[in-house]
Amino acid sequence: MNYVSTRDKTVSLSASQAIAQGLARDGGLLTPEVLPKLTPGFFRELVGKSYGQRAVAVMKLFLEDFSEEELTRYTQAGYSGEKFDDSRIAPLHSLNEDTYCLELWHGPTSAFKDMALQLLPHLLTASLVKNQEEKTVCILVATSGDTGKAALEGFKDVEGTKILVFYPKDGVSAVQALQMQTQQGDNVGVCAVRGNFDDAQTGVKVLFSDEKLREDLAQRGYFFSSANSINWGRILPQLVYYISAYCDLLGQGKIQMGERVNYCVPTGNFGNILACWYAKEMGLPVGKLICASNSNNVLTDFINSGTYNKNRPFHTTMSPSMDILVSSNLERLLFALSGQDDKAVADYMAQLKEKGSYTVPAPMMEKLRADFTAGFCDEAETSATIAKVWKEQGYLIDPHTAVAYAVMERYRKESGDKNKTVFVSTASPFKFCDNVLKSLGEQEVREGLDALDQLAQLSGRPAPVPLASLRDKAVRFQETVDKEAMMDVVLDMLR
């Protein structure tokens, strides 16, 4: 199976080339040309298997230049009991017979990004070897909070790699910032950028496309690659847990084979929900894909109107990992829905760059609406939802998950859709404990990490170890720069 650029189908790469390169040279996203098809027998086979075995079974369909033995080694290393605090890796929590929460935050950084970033370093370093790359890869990341830390943990001290993370100064929680500032490892760098996530992401994209910089770094023995969800190696591991959740429901006798299940995904860059769409296209019996946004509801408007328009106020919310106005991975969906019309996709992206908006034609919207529905949840409703789910279900959720829950409930009420629904929980509530505490009605939230203890006391649950242990770690990175100075930070690190 080959991978093509969403902006030029004549670009055709192997899986390992696509992963090594991250982004196509023309700025497009590298995307599988065809999707493998899954049969009921495939799901039945996986019911009795471990999460790691399920991951190998799914990923080997896409990674033809990797052996099953290699993939097994990676999943054993990435999804080990040392790294995850639940041996099921991505457990389903049942709220009632119709409603299940897929918990994706049992990994080392307490957010769902670990699901992919525990594997990506293995996939990437192997891809570089397979392609005789002799230069050292420098992973360049723009993060809205969770990717940066998960990438740092995944890549720390991985031989033949360096990693440099830029995060928006005003766009991450106190715990998130501290997680990155205290990062250990000899090959890591972390820097804050003045502005919001889009500033940081735009800055990184500029660095990626700078030919002169590319040449300078090549002379120094380095080249850039990406750990952002534009890399296929990020999307692929995320297909696994949607399939895994379905197998769990089958195994527990909650659904019949073939029964459609809805998935509701709190969405930012559109990577997570896109993975679910791919699983659906491959044959996973998915009903509706419910795309949940916070007040930055550009995707809600797009799915409802067909016009993507980023010219709107940017809101800094309590679900910062979804504070995004340019959802990069939507490009892969547009490519598929347009019948792989690379010229049309290149044109939408050019319009987005030039005037900040584009509109897709009616036939594409029809296809989109057959699979997706969308809604958003503002700050007050997010808070109210955290409180409500805790009070009524005794279940503690973080603000991102609360956005998903609220949008799911509204969709069910308005549509009358009776399918069983899995909503995706993307972060531990402890990662965003200050806003969770306020939502639960606490008048005074303690400073910094003391808020973790406060939430542990109030909920009767312990804080995840990686968060509680931040207290003992020294701050290593405190630099803040303007967007224009990001290049200097790169040159400084890659001397």
Ligand X SMILES: *Cc1c(COP(=O)(O)O)cnc(C)c1O
Name the residue nearer to ligand X (CB basis): 204 or 250: 204
Q: Of all helices (H) and strands (E), which one includes residue 45?
A: helix 40-46
What part of residues 342-401 is at the interface with ligand X (CB under 6 A)? 400
Closest among 129, 151, 241, 155 to 204, alpha carbons compared: 151
What part of residues 438-467 is at the interface with ligand X (CB under 6 A)? none
Q: CA 333 to CA 143: how far, in whole Å?
A: 22
Query: Contact with ligand X (CB under 6 A): which of 15, 111, 243, 397?
Result: 111
Q: How far is the CB of 278 from ligand X (least distance, A)?
A: 13
Q: If binding is defined by CB under 6 A, does position 113 make contact with ligand X?
A: yes
Q: Measuring CA to CA, how many Å separate 123 from each of 165, 166, 247?
A: 19, 23, 25
Name the residue nearer to ligand X (CB basis): 16 or 201: 201
What part of residues 228-267 is at the interface with ligand X (CB under 6 A)? 229, 266-267
Which structure tokens are listed for 374? 């969308």
Question: Which stretches of 313-361 are assigned E, i.e. beta strand?
Answer: 357-359
| 274 strand-pairing partners | none
Considering Cα of 436, then 437, then 442, then 448, what sign does the dihedral take? Answer: negative
- Looking at residue 51, its amino acid is Y
Q: Of all helices (H) and strands (E), which one includes residue 191?
A: strand 188-193
Query: Contact with ligand X (CB under 6 A): which of 108, 233, 268, 285?
Result: 268
Q: How far is the CB of 297 from ligand X (least distance, A)?
A: 13
| 286 strand-pairing partners | 261
Query: Contact with ligand X (CB under 6 A): which of 176, 225, 269, 435?
Result: 269
Label the pairing between strands 30-32 and 3-5.
antiparallel
Name the residue nearer to ligand X (CB basis): 223 or 432: 432
Binding segment toward ligand X, per CB under 6 A, in 47-55, 210-218, 268-276, 366-374: 268-276
User: Count residues contacting ligand X (CB under 6 A)?
Assistant: 17
Q: If binding is defined by CB under 6 A, does position 146 make contact with ligand X?
A: yes
| 164 strand-pairing partners | 140, 189
What part of residues 296-335 is at the interface with ligand X (CB under 6 A)? 321-322
Name the residue nearer to ligand X (CB basis): 223 or 411: 411
Binding segment toward ligand X, per CB under 6 A, in 78-86, 111-119, 452-460, 486-494: 111-119
Per CB under 6 A, residues contacting ligand X are: 111-113, 146, 229, 266-272, 321-322, 400, 426-427
